[in-house]
Amino acid sequence: MRKISEFEMPDLIPARMLNEFTYCPRLCYIEWVEGEFEDNADTVDGRFQHRRVDQSQGVVPNPEEVADFTARSVDISAHEIGIVCRLDLIEGKDGHVIPVEYKRGYVPKIEGGAYESDKVQLCAQGLALKENGYECNEGLIYFVKSKQKVQITFNELLVNRTKQLINNLRLMIASEKIPSPLVESSRCVRCSLAGICLPDEINFLKNPENRNEEIPQVRKFLPPRDDQIPLYVTGYGQTVRKKGERLEVWSNRDKTGEVKIRELSQISLYGSADITSPAFTEILQRNIPINYFSYGGWFYGFSQGNSHKNVELRIKQFAFAEDKKRSLKLAQMFVYGKILNSRTILRRNDGEVSDEILKSLKKLASDAKSSNSLQTLLGIEGGAAQIYFSRFNNLLKSDDSWYSFENRNRRPPKDPVNTVLSYLYGVMVKEFFVTLNTTGFDPYLGFYHQPRYGRPALALDMMEEFRSIIADSVTFTLFNNGELSERDFISRGLGVTLTPTGKKAVLRGYERRISTEVKHPLFGYKVSYRRIFEVQARLLSRVLHGEIDVYPPFLTR
Binding-site members are: 381, 449, 464
Q: What's the CA gap between 450 and 441, in Å, rounded? A: 15
Q: What's the CA gap between 166 and 248, in Å, rounded? A: 50
Q: Where are the alpha helices (DSSP H) in 132-243?
A: 156-175, 194-197, 199-206
Q: Which long-range contacts (CB under 8 A, 24 or more apart) does 193-196 make?
A: 193/27, 193/30, 193/31, 193/36, 193/37, 193/38, 194/221, 194/222, 195/38, 195/221, 195/222, 195/223, 195/534, 196/30, 196/36, 196/38, 196/538
What is the largest distance, in Å, between two alpha-carbon atoms of the chain?
Answer: 92
Annotated binding site for Mn(2+): 381, 449, 464
Q: What's the CA gap between 213 and 347, in Å, rounded? A: 25
- Within 10 Å of residue 329's Cβ, how many Cβ atoms? 17
Closest CA to 206 of 476, 548, 454, 441: 548
Q: What's the CA gap between 72 and 90, in Å, rounded? A: 6
Q: What's the CA gap between 378 and 198, in Å, rounded? A: 32
- Establish how many alpha carbons lie within 13 A of residue 28's alpha carbon, considering only the half-sphere containing its beta carbon: 25
Q: Is 51 helix (H, G, I), strand (E, B) or coil?
A: coil
Output b/e per residue, 101-139; b: 16+ Cβ within 10 A.
bbbeeebbeeeebbbbbbbbbbbbbbbbbbbbebebebb
Residue 171: exposed, middle, or buried by beta-carbon count in 10 A (0-12, 13-18, 19+)?
Answer: exposed
Q: Checking phi first, is residue 222 left (phi over 0); if not, alpha (psi -120 to 50) or beta?
A: beta
Crossing angle of the two packed helices 529-544 and 500-514, in degrees rounded to 10:
70
Q: Is 38 helix (H, G, I), strand (E, B) or coil?
A: coil
Pair 70, 89: CB distance under 8 Å: yes
